[in-house]
Amino acid sequence: MITKLVMATNNTNKLREAREILSPLGIEVLSQREAGANCDPEENGATFAENALIKARAVYEAVKLPTIADDSGLCVAALDGRPGVYSARYAPEGQHCAKLLEEMKDVPEDKRTASFNCSIAYIDDDEVKVVGGGCIGRIGYEMRGTNGFGYDPVFMVGEKSMAELTADEKNAISHRGAALRGLYKYLKERFGE
The one catalytic residue among 71, 80, 110, 152 = 71
Instruction: Return d(Cα 161, Cα 83) in angstroms, integer.
Output: 19
Q: Is 152 a catalytic residue?
A: no
Helix axes 12-22, 175-191, angle to 10 degrees: 40
Q: Which sequence positions are flagged as catalytic?
A: 71
